[in-house]
Amino acid sequence: MATLLRKIGLIRLHNRDTEDPKHHHNHRGGGGGQQSASLRGKGGAKSGGHKQQQQQQQQQQQPGGAGDASPGPGKGKGKRAAEPAPRDKPPQPAAGAAGAAGAGGPRERAAGARAGPGPAAAAAAAAAATAGGSLVPAARQQHCTQVRSRRLMKELQDIARLSDRFISVELVDESLFDWNVKLHQVDKDSVLWQDMKETNTEFILLNLTFPDNFPFSPPFMRVLSPRLENGYVLDGGAICMELLTPRGWSSAYTVEAVMRQFAASLVKGQGRICRKAGKSKKSFSRKEAEATFKSLVKTHEKYGWVTPPVSDG
């Protein structure tokens, strides 16, 4: 019986506690406080983490700031500490003087430029120049030969088409660069023409040799036969004409134009066929003609293309 009463009492006490509004209020209040405190704690943690992230971004954007010096958590402090700063890096061995000059700052590069290339670079440049130097003259000579050949072939074709048969050409030993030119006509009112008729001379024979850089340099031209006097024809058959000198020559001159000028100078200079005994049979020589031509060029360079003093020949 007593036990039963005690159970009943306990049941009433439990019911009273569960039905007490204050008990329910305190219970709900305590739970809500804990939930709101938890939410506030989470929100504070989020806002604190967001602010910390913003501060880290600002420090990284600032040059030379604390963010560059001290890495954030979990970014490998030991790796950054092991790497030396750019100014502390040991200098790398350069391949040449140019690399050493380019690796430094503006002052170092300027000093390297003033000092010039190093021995290795200079030796490489000299080797390249030596290797290329042997090729340049060969290529240039080949180009000059092609230009000269094309020009002379055109000259031959133009002379072959002349209607008045003023001149004719024969190649010496089939060489395109060595011509024997026959001058068939001079002024028919001149004494030279009369001499040609009286001596049965059909033409005046001349020799033209063309240098490697023709048409940019003049040909060497001399009289072979007959032996002429005056008419600007000198010893050895050399011809005194300004256009045959390097100073008076132009690449626009053709062989036909040169021969017409020569025919005119013969008449102007009162050229005659030599009829003196013994002397008329003596032929002109190339060696004598070359020596005479060099001498007259020096004389005219000194006095200009006027009549020089008799003492100078």
The catalytic residue positions are 240
Q: DSSP of the chain, one letter per residue?
A: -HHHHHHHHHHHHHHHHHH-HHHHHHHHHHHHHHHHHHHHHHHHHHHHHHHHHHHHHHHHHSTT-HHHHS--TTS-HHHHHHSPPGGGSPPPPPSSHHHHHHHS-HHHHHHHHHH---HHHHHHHHHHHHHHHTHHHHHHHHHHHHHHHHHHHHHHHHHHT-SS--EEEEEGGG-TTEEEEEE----TTSHHHHHHHHTT---EEEEEE--TTTTSSPPEEEEEES-EESTTB-GGGBB--GGGSTTT--TT--HHHHHHHHHHHHHHTT-EE---TTTTTPPP-HHHHHHHHHHHHHHHHHH-SSPPPGGG-
